[in-house]
Chains A and B, each alone.
Chain A
Amino acid sequence: MAKAFKYGLKGITGFLEPTERELLRSLIADVISMLQPEEREGQDPLAALIGLDMDVVEPTDRAVRRLLPNVVKDDGAASLEFRQLTERSLRETKIGALRAAALDLDKDEIVLTTEGAKHWSAALNDVRLVLAERLDIRDEQDAEHVHLMQDWSQAEDVESYLALVYNFTTWLQESLVQAMLQSMETRR
């Protein structure tokens, strides 16, 4: 069983079993593949280098849209203009945090710096946002319903399995954030 993250003398530490690390690794890899910018032909390499993407479109996948939301509500045109300037680098920021978290999964015991913890919490959050879209969590009621699923022996279909995975990542993120808040409190 995983141990909750905690804040102590070594910083923020956590412990995960090999199967749990394997699970997280594959979830992270999934989210990275969703965020990987599409390489299109005829793209201006200089524009790409500085993060511009004039051919960007609003993502069709709901989960990707939640990861990269429109910046102006009910204004597709203004949001699209903003995407052209920022979406590529936002994708890269997210992928960076996800990769950093994946690298930490090479050891049983996870020891995190402040920066590492920030990457981990953002990575777990993105993983949860994607799982929540797959589970169709639309409101607090849906979330509670999913939350009831706690027993791995109940996992009989994809949805119940996903719900258990979601609850595991929720628990892990909550323990991490509590440790981060504690560490922030100490540094104040």
Chain B
Amino acid sequence: MTISVAPGPDTQEGTRTGTAESTDTLAAPDIPWNLVIWNDPVNLMSYVSYVFQSYFGYSETKANKLMMEVHKKGRSIVTHGSKEQVERHAVAMHGFGLWATVEKASGTSGNSGQGKGKRG
């Protein structure tokens, strides 16, 4: 892992501006890119869940939850990390045939599937 662990300004003490996610950002500092999986009418739900389980090592429950989010909401943020990390995941997803994109995490989108993905 080449992720930089330098804390961002929002993880430092005494600079609280009332964000509720301070503990989350403490646990996962400096991870500003999201890997997004998009819904399409072709990929099998079982296959998408299999990919999430086998590639990311997610439990069946977590994989199915993310898969259902893709299916119902049209997209889901399945992981995040540095730009290089999510780009590498995106190529792997394209290898599996899933429709994946990367995007810079923004504080306003609020469409993350995971609690920790919701960065302020």
A interface with B by C-beta (< 8 Å): 66-73, 82, 86, 89-90, 93-94, 97, 118, 121-122, 125-126, 128-129, 132, 137-140, 142-143, 170, 173-174, 177-178, 180-181, 184-185
Cβ of B17 to closest chain A Cβ, rounded Å: 30
Q: Which residues of A contact B101 (CB under 8 A)?
A: 69-73
Contact call A132/B41, Cβ cutoff below 8 A: yes
Given contacts A173-B47, A184-B53, contact A128 B42 (CB under 8 A): yes
Contact call B91/A122, Cβ cutoff below 8 A: no
User: B46 near A: Cβ within 8 Å?
Assistant: yes
**Distance in angstroms between the alpha carbons of A93 and B103 in the assembled complex:** 24
Which chain B residues numbered 71 to 120 have a C-beta less than 8 Å away from chain A? 87, 90-91, 94-97, 99-103
**Distance in angstroms between the alpha carbons of A118 and B47 in the assembled complex:** 11
* Closest chain A residue, CB of each to CB of B36: A73
Q: Which residues of A contact B47 (CB under 8 A)?
A: 121, 125, 173, 177
Q: Nearest 10 pairs between A and B by C-beta?
A: A125-B97, A143-B41, A132-B42, A177-B46, A73-B101, A177-B47, A93-B95, A140-B41, A71-B90, A86-B91
**Distance in angstroms between the alpha carbons of A48 and B40 in the assembled complex:** 32
Q: Which residues of A contact B87 (CB under 8 A)?
A: 71, 82, 86
The contact of A122 among B40, B60, B95, by CB within 8 Å, is B95
Cβ of A114 to closest chain B Cβ, rounded Å: 9
Contact call A68/B94, Cβ cutoff below 8 A: yes
The contact of B94 among A69, A72, A139, by CB within 8 Å, is A69
**Distance in angstroms between the alpha carbons of A170 and B46 in the assembled complex:** 11
B interface with A by C-beta (< 8 Å): 36, 40-44, 46-47, 49-50, 53-54, 60, 87, 90-91, 94-97, 99-103
Contact call B41/A142, Cβ cutoff below 8 A: yes
Given contacts A67-B97, A180-B50, contact A125 B91 (CB under 8 A): no
Cβ of B75 to closest chain A Cβ, rounded Å: 10
* Closest chain A residue, CB of each to CB of B95: A93
Q: Which residues of B contact A125 (CB under 8 A)?
A: 43, 47, 96-97
Cβ of B66 to closest chain A Cβ, rounded Å: 15
Contact call B44/A173, Cβ cutoff below 8 A: yes
Q: Which residues of A contact B95 (CB under 8 A)?
A: 90, 93-94, 97, 122
Contact call B97/A73, Cβ cutoff below 8 A: no
Q: Which residues of B contact A72 (CB under 8 A)?
A: 101-103
The contact of A137 among B42, B60, B91, B97, by CB within 8 Å, is B42
The contact of B50 among A94, A121, A129, by CB within 8 Å, is A121
**Distance in angstroms between the alpha carbons of A178 and B100 in the assembled complex:** 23
Cβ of B60 to closest chain A Cβ, rounded Å: 8
* Closest chain A residue, CB of each to CB of B59: A188
A-B contact pairs, 26 of them (CB 8 A): A67-B94, A70-B101, A71-B91, A72-B102, A72-B103, A86-B87, A90-B91, A90-B94, A90-B95, A121-B50, A122-B95, A122-B96, A122-B97, A126-B97, A137-B41, A138-B41, A139-B41, A140-B41, A142-B41, A143-B41, A173-B44, A173-B47, A174-B44, A177-B44, A178-B46, A180-B50
